[in-house]
Structure 1
């Protein structure tokens, strides 16, 4: 998509025109986003404490790696290359599988994720880009502030991106609409499956709980904060 011709010219160095405006804060958006971002990060600290006390097993690591790969491919191959950029075509079952896997990464539902990323590419590092690191200018202070905004800040204050404009093809796809509506359930499954697998393999509730920590929130935190593997989106 191309930027609107009504967008004023931008010199590539100055802060965005809207950067000085006080961003609107939506309580529900803040609460949901904080839950999705902060709880996995806290679990990462808890996981480090468990590892120090031998609270980690080979099963935990294998499950964490497996779920990381599955959900990571769901985001990078499914959400990004297939659905956002339409770089290739896929059979309906594969398209749905990748969308489900990406939804289990806790980075937002598939339609909103795609809409945000398409808008990002339509206005890359220019006014209108929802998470550009150059929002506050190209000087050092602005770039440091922009780094925080680009990584997490925009999730809490950014206005909703209209899917009707940026992802109408997905809104017209009944399967993508169903997967979008199932996002909360898929997030729950993303936590429940490691717990069940860990319990079944170890034969103990403790094994299920450590698998839940490592292949659940710790895996989610790593996936959210590894550059190139994540572009989290507010729900």
Structure 2
């Protein structure tokens, strides 16, 4: 007697969307690879799990036109690696001194690129030029950019509200701040060392803060 085989339902192409969204909101990168590339792609996992890693840029692009993104490198950053998921048709890297390199078509003085199926690993050559770098990329679809560097500088943060109790000042908020109540974002920078001039940083400053939510992204300058 033969058993009737149960037909398998086709897998939905959107079955990983939830995991990709959670990864993006937390500043991570979703990686899809093949069995033949899995050992080489493991270097990207090692890049993100190593100690003293800081995120210099994390952004997604949905346009078919050329997208332009910038990230800043200072003297505390020792090495920079770019991870791009998706399929690029053109990619141009420009240094702070306005020197450009077409990464997909030529070898150059700025960086070296490793290509996998739907994934790229770009390593900037030392010594790193401090300043603003620019990355221009063109694709037929969705791209995710993640730029990380090695740095001992880190920060701690918490929300606080003004209090006028026994000791007036700022009181730390446990959990999320209450909607409609003015709050402060207190940031403590660590890793600069006692001799700030040693890393050529005269003062710590912030150009903007990005708050990520489940439904929207809010920019506060």
TM-score bin (small chain): under 0.3
In the superposition, the TM-score normalised over structure 2's length comes to 0.23
More strand by share: 2
Bigger Rg, structure 1 or 2: 2
Identify the structure with bigger relative contact order (alpha carbons < 8 Å, sequence gap 6+): 1
In the superposition, the TM-score normalised over structure 1's length comes to 0.22
